[in-house]
């Protein structure tokens, strides 16, 4: 036999041997998955100790690996065995689900806890799908986000776990994050919003009170130059008036600058006037709001008040106009186009 024939024969033997090894590995991996599905702890241990490929994937179904099957199963001890043998807890199946996410989906707290103990990551983007309020049966799972999520990780909207806690007004979760070292003035990516901006905007008296007690910065501005006070005075729902006044007064008493301007030179009084928020305007005036300050278009708060009347002055608007005039509002101050509040008033109908 010549050298070429010997080499070809050797290659065929190696290929045949390699194929046999591959088949054996696939077979043993299938046996492992079967043993996991049957919750056969003894068989699983035997296979793991024999060196079975515990990271093999079920390519015929959802692409689940041994950990996925273990979490879907009923044996916590099997899950721990796999983790002790360094199974890849970060692997995802064809649905992009990690073993940890499946544990959340199935409300398996102990399974999720075991995965975390062995280094599984808490993906912040899962928070919105698996958050649960205080009285929920799934609350223990929700708290895992507060205990284990990376404090600097961001969701698709640029929010960190601390911001999400304030969006949910979750005092318990926020307290956990503060104990872990979360920064109370942490900004969101993009808009630069702080927890105090969120608490003021959502009119959460407990959250605002908590942040003020912790020393949150009152004057930090978002991308548009808005302070927490700007956010608090926005008046969409009349039903929220009581909470709004409470939050606004908390901020003012704490030392918020009442005449702080945004990037467009808009003050909180401009915003409150736009919504004809009588009691809010009254409170701002009490703390020294400038009634004749102009924004970047030269508009005064009175201009905003009348301009927001949509062509009709009702009793509520009229009372607010009178309040502003008594406070010293000049109805003759023109904007950059020479239009005055008096011009606007003359064009309005009265109900």
pLDDT tier for residue 225 given thresholds of 50, 70 and 90: very high
More confident site: 347 or 27: 347
In the chain, % of residues over pLDDT 70: 88
Instruction: Give the Cα separation of 189 and 268 in Å (integer).
Output: 24
DSSP helix/strand/coil, 65: strand
What CATH architecture is 15-121? Answer: Alpha Horseshoe (1.25)
Report the pLDDT value the prediction gives residue 6, as an integer from 0 to 100. Answer: 45
Report the pLDDT value the prediction gives residue 23, as an integer from 0 to 100. Answer: 39
- pLDDT tens-digit profile of 10-34? 444 344 434 443 433 456 678 898 8
| Short-list 70, 161, 50, CA closest to 111 | 70
What CATH architecture is 184-257? Answer: Alpha Horseshoe (1.25)
Report the pLDDT value the prediction gives residue 153, as an integer from 0 to 100. Answer: 96
Report the pLDDT value the prediction gives residue 350, as an integer from 0 to 100. Answer: 57
Report the pLDDT value the prediction gives residue 2, as an integer from 0 to 100. Answer: 53
CA angle, 253 then 279 then 240, to 5°:
90
Report the pLDDT value the prediction gives residue 345, as an integer from 0 to 100. Answer: 83
Q: What is the CATH number of domain 265-351?
A: 1.25.40.20
- pLDDT tens-digit profile of 124-158? 999 999 999 888 888 999 999 999 999 999 999 99
Instruction: Give the Cα separation of 260 and 230 in Å (integer).
Output: 9
Report the pLDDT value the prediction gives residue 309, as an integer from 0 to 100. Answer: 55
Report the pLDDT value the prediction gives residue 349, as an integer from 0 to 100. Answer: 57
Q: Where are the alpha helices (DSSP H) in 38-156?
A: 41-49, 66-72, 76-84, 99-105, 109-117, 127-130, 139-148
- pLDDT tens-digit profile of 294-335? 999 999 999 999 886 555 667 778 899 999 999 999 999 999
Phi-psi region of 288 (alpha: psi -120 to 50; beta: other; left: phi over 0): left
Report the pLDDT value the prediction gives residue 351, as an integer from 0 to 100. Answer: 53
Equal fold, 15-121 vs 184-257: yes
Domain ranges of the chain: 15-121, 124-182, 184-257, 265-351
In the chain, % of residues over pLDDT 90: 70
Most confident among 29-33, 52-56, 164-168, 275-279 (mean pLDDT)? 164-168
Q: Where are the beta strands (DSSP E) in the chain?
A: 312-313, 349-350
Instruction: Give the Cα separation of 221 and 227 in Å (integer).
Output: 5
DSSP helix/strand/coil, 92: strand
Please tell me the pTM assigned to this model.
0.84
């Amino acid at each position: 036999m010549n050298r070429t024939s010997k080499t070809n024969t050797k290659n065929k033997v190696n290929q045949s041997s390699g194929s046999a090894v591959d088949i054996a590995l696939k077979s043993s991996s299938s046996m492992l998955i079967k043993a996991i599905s049957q919750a056969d702890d003894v068989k699983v241990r035997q296979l793991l100790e024999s060196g079975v490929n515990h990271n093999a994937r079920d390519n015929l179904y959802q692409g689940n690996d041994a950990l996925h099957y273990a979490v879907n199963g009923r044996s916590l001890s099997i899950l721990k065995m796999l983790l002790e043998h360094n199974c890849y807890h970060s692997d995802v199946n064809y649905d992009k689900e990690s073993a940890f996410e499946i544990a959340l989906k199935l409300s398996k707290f102990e399974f999720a806890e075991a995965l975390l103990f062995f280094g599984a990551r808490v993906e912040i983007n899962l928070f919105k799908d698996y958050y649960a309020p205080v009285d929920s049966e799934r609350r223990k799972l929700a708290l895992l986000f507060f205990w284990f999520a990376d404090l600097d990780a961001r969701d698709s909207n640029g929010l960190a776990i601390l911001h999400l806690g304030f969006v949910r007004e979750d005092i318990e979760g926020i307290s956990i994050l503060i104990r872990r070292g979360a920064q109370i003035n942490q900004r969101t990516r993009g808009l630069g919003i702080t927890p105090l901006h969120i608490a003021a905007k959502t009119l959460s008296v407990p959250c605002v009170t908590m942040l003020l007690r912790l020393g949150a910065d009152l004057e930090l501005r978002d991308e548009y130059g808005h302070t927490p006070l700007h956010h608090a005075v926005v008046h969409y729902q009349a039903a929220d008036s009581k909470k709004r006044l409470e939050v606004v007064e908390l901020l003012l008493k704490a030392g918020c600058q009442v005449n702080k301007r945004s990037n467009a030179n808009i003050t909180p009084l401009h915003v409150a006037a736009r919504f004809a928020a009588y009691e809010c305007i009254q409170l701002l005036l009490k703390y020294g709001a400038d009634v004749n300050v102009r924004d970047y278009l030269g508009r005064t708060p009175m201009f905003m008040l009348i301009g927001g009347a949509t062509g009709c002055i009702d009793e509520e608007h009229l009372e607010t106009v009178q309040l502003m005039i008594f406070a010293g509002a000049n109805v003759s101050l023109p904007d950059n186009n020479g239009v005055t509040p008096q011009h606007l008033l003359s064009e309005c109908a009265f109900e």
